[in-house]
Amino acid sequence: MISRTIYSSWMANTQREKIAQLLQELKPEGRILDVGAGPGFLEEQLQAVATDIDLENLKKAKGLKVLCSGDELPFKQKSFDWVFCIDTVHLLKGVDELERVSKGTVVLTAFCNQNNFEHKIEWLKHLTKLKIEKEILIKTEKEWDAVLVLRA
């Protein structure tokens, strides 16, 4: 898969940097789910349940791993305090499953740049019915992310 090539080379450090900034801002605690974990950059920095549809990528993640789609999560309703979907939401049919398994906070991120940040935030808002807690712009040298923090 192309994501394996991208993430194992030049994007790995960018992803780590973005996630470090995000975690510093949010300080998540409790039971955490990472939907679309890829090789587990979030799991390098905190304990979370990693999910992905790519088994080879998922094998690289630390901790508990579940091979599944973000559109069909095999968890009970309200199972997680935090649900992260970092740069993966555009691959899902919607965010219903993320919202279903959350009893606390859902974090959605989308790649963006200086020209489309507002558009990306608005797009993320239209995906959900949850209460918007915070909008964040994460910047690294190579990439920006529009971040929407929601309360279940």
Strand 131-139: give its sheet, edge to edge. 65-67, 49-52, 32-35, 80-85, 102-112, 144-151, 131-139
| Identity at 6, one-letter amino acid code | I
Look at residue 10 in the predicted model and tell me its pLDDT.
65
Please report, for the domain that includes residue 89, its CATH number: 3.40.50.150
**Pick from 80, 13, 67: which is nearest to 44 by CA?**
13
Look at residue 34 in the predicted model and tell me its pLDDT.
98
pLDDT, tens digit, for every residue of 113-137?
989 999 999 999 999 999 999 999 9
Per-residue pLDDT band for 81 (boundaries 50, 70, 90) equals very high
Look at residue 3 in the predicted model and tell me its pLDDT.
52
pLDDT, tens digit, for every residue of 4-63?
555 556 689 999 999 999 999 999 999 999 999 999 999 999 999 999 999 999 999 999
Look at residue 22 in the predicted model and tell me its pLDDT.
97
Dihedral of CA 142/49/99/70: which sign?
positive
Cβ–Cβ under 8 Å, residues 81 and 104: yes
More confident residue, 2 or 58: 58
Range of the domain at 19: 2-151
- The rounded distance, in Å, linking the Cα atoms of 132 and 105 is 10
Parallel/antiparallel/unpaired status of strands 131-139 and 102-112: unpaired
Indicate the number of domains in the chain. Answer: 1
pLDDT at 74 over 60: yes
